[in-house]
Structure formats: C-alpha cells, structure tokens
Amino acid sequence: MLVAGNWKMNLDLAAARQLTAGIVSTVGKPKNTHIAICPPFVDLDATYSILHGSGIKLGAQNMYHLDSGAYTGEVSAPMLRAVGCHYVILGHSERRELFGETNQSVSQKAIQAKTHKLVPIVCVGESLAQRDAGVHEGVVEEQVRQSLESLHVGESSELVVAYEPVWAIGTGRTASPEQVTQMHTHIRSILVELFGQKIGTGIDILYGGSVKPNNALELFSQPNVDGGLIGGASLNADDFASIVASADKAATIRF
Ligand code: PGA
C-alpha cells in the first residue's frame, strides 16, 4: 500500500514546515503502507529536512523531461533528486486540463523520471462527460498505454499508477467501490500486458478523488486498489494520518 499526499498549490514555506512536522508526529510507523507527501517545489528542500529519518518519502507534483537548459519556469529530474525527492506525480488531470499536458508529454517525463531514479506516479482518469458517454474504460486505457508503453520497468516498485476520475477530484464525490474495482482491474490487466505478470501485478495502482477518513477503508479494501493519492485531506495531519491508518488496515485484511 502507498498513500501519497498531493498538496497542489497550497502552503507557503512556514505552513509547509508546520504540516510536515504534524504529519511526522501523527502518522506513526505503519507496517504495510508507504507514505509520501508532494508539496510545491519551493517547499521541497525544507520539508525533506523534516522528513529525513521518518520513513516518509518526498515527491514533486511535476517536472520537465530534460536535464537542464533554457526552459524558463521548469524544474528537472536531477533537481528534484538533489532535494530528496523519491516520487514525482506526472499527468495529473489538472495539468492535463489546465496546462496542456498530453499522454505524449507524460510518456517523455516518465522515461526521464525513471532515468534519474525517480518513481513516477502517473495519473489517469476520465471526465464526467466521458463516463456518462460510457467511454471511460477506453479513455483510461489509451492514457495508460500511451503514457507507459515506451517505459522500461525492471521492478514493480519503479512505477505507480493513480486512477483519478476527474469528476471525483475536489468534488466530495467519490467513485463507488464497484466503479473503482472495475477500472483498477482493467488497468491491472493492461499493466500485466505491458510489463509481464510479475511486474504488472506488483505495480501499485492508487485511487484518487475525494478520499477522506470516512471512505478510505472501503475504497482501499477493493481488489487492485493499492492505496490512494490524496488532495484536500492531505492538508490536515489528522485526516491524512487516519487515511494512512485505513490503508494499513486494508492491507492486513487483504493480504
Ligand atoms: P482530492 O484530490 O483528494 O482533493 O479530491 C485528489 C487529487 O487531485 O490528487
């Protein structure tokens, strides 16, 4: 299991330090669950020094697909590694919708992340219109295939996929356990096809979209759900710790 907090464009340096310290002191040491937080770029260095030794990993929310150069405003994989990042979120639906991210750019970034030993958390998910039109499985399948098919994955721990239906993000509306199971099982079969049985079954598939303390256990108990990508609720240490505890409980029920 993996629970990753996506802070999005929230918290300045002082607030980021405070929340990180709060998370370190409340999450404890779950047995079967890895934990990550993904603060804004400018908070990464400071949060890393607070996380250091806690077992909680650091992640970034985006990166560019080249090492360095004249790319004003961008941040590279080596820079993220240098400030202690283990993960990088790629292709979040907000980046796809608002910043023109495509499956092709996500694919380039995922390859670059892997080259620099960052673990990409590749996000996929359909819009409400696509779900209502019944094309959600095809849309997500295309996102998974086009974002990942050029990637070489030597071990399942080198890649994470996050299924986040766009209509569930920040809306308070979660996908039902049946909808989540159906999509995660579909994604699992594509991962097995792309990377083989052993690696494909071991890759963590996270669910994201309005995961809260009161629904986390049910969502994480579904087959092929290996944890969550948490937005709003990751900004509160107690809520985040409760979600981590639910993941750990689901892990013991399932395995
Ligand atoms: P949410 O965001 O938990 O606030 O819905 C999830 C995400 O966008 O990763």
Contacts with 74 (C-beta within 8 Å, 6 or more apart), sequence order: 63, 64
Q: What is the pLDDT of residue 255?
A: 62
The mean pLDDT value for 226-254 works out to 96
Torsion of CA 10, 219, 155, 90, to 10 degrees: -30
User: What ligand 1 atom has the least distance to the C-alpha of 169?
Assistant: 5
Cα separations in angstroms, 125 against 142, 148, 169, 239: 10, 14, 10, 24
For residue 129, pLDDT beyond 80: yes
Q: Is the pLDDT of residue 172 over 90?
A: no
As a whole number of angstroms, the distance between CA 207 and CA 198 comes to 21
* Residue-range domain boundaries for the chain: 2-174+189-210+221-227
Q: What is the pLDDT of residue 49?
A: 97
Q: Which residues contact 177 (CB under 8 A, 6 or more apart)?
A: 218, 219, 221, 222
Question: Given this model, what pLDDT does residue 254 score?
Answer: 73
Q: How confident is the model at residue 173 (pLDDT cuts 50, 70, 90)?
A: confident
| 60 bridge partner residues | 88
Residues 23-50 pLDDT 10s:
999 999 999 999 999 999 999 999 999 9
Q: Is the CB of 208 under 6 A from ligand 1?
A: yes
Query: Given 34, 92, 136, 186, which residue is catalytic?
Result: 92
The rounded Å distance from CA 61 to ligand 1 centre is 12
Instruction: Based on the residue annotation, tell me whether 74 is a catalytic residue of this protein.
Output: no
Distance of alpha carbon 6 from alpha carbon 92, whole angstroms: 10
CA of 208 to the centre of ligand 1 (A): 6
Instruction: Please say whether the beta carbons of 36 and 57 come within 8 A.
Output: yes
- The angle at the Cα of 113, spanning 144 to 119, to the nearest 5 degrees, equals 75
Report the chain's mean pLDDT, rounded to a whole number: 97
Q: Which CATH superfamily is domain 2-174+189-210+221-227 in?
A: Aldolase class I (3.20.20.70)
- Nearest residue to 4 via CA among 89, 78, 85: 89
Q: Is the pTM of this model over 0.85?
A: yes
Q: Is 4 in the pocket of ligand 1 (CB under 6 A)?
A: no
The response to whether residue 120 sits with its C-beta less than 6 Å from ligand 1 reads no
Pocket test for ligand 1, best of 7, 167, 210 (most atoms within 8 A of CB): 210
* Amino acid letter for position 158: E
> Is the pLDDT at 174 greater than 90, yes or no?
no
| Residue 184 CA neighbour count, 13 Å, CB half | 28
What 8-state DSSP symbol labels residue 133? Answer: T
Alpha helices in the chain (DSSP H): 13-26, 44-51, 77-82, 93-98, 103-115, 128-132, 136-148, 177-195, 197-202, 216-220, 237-254
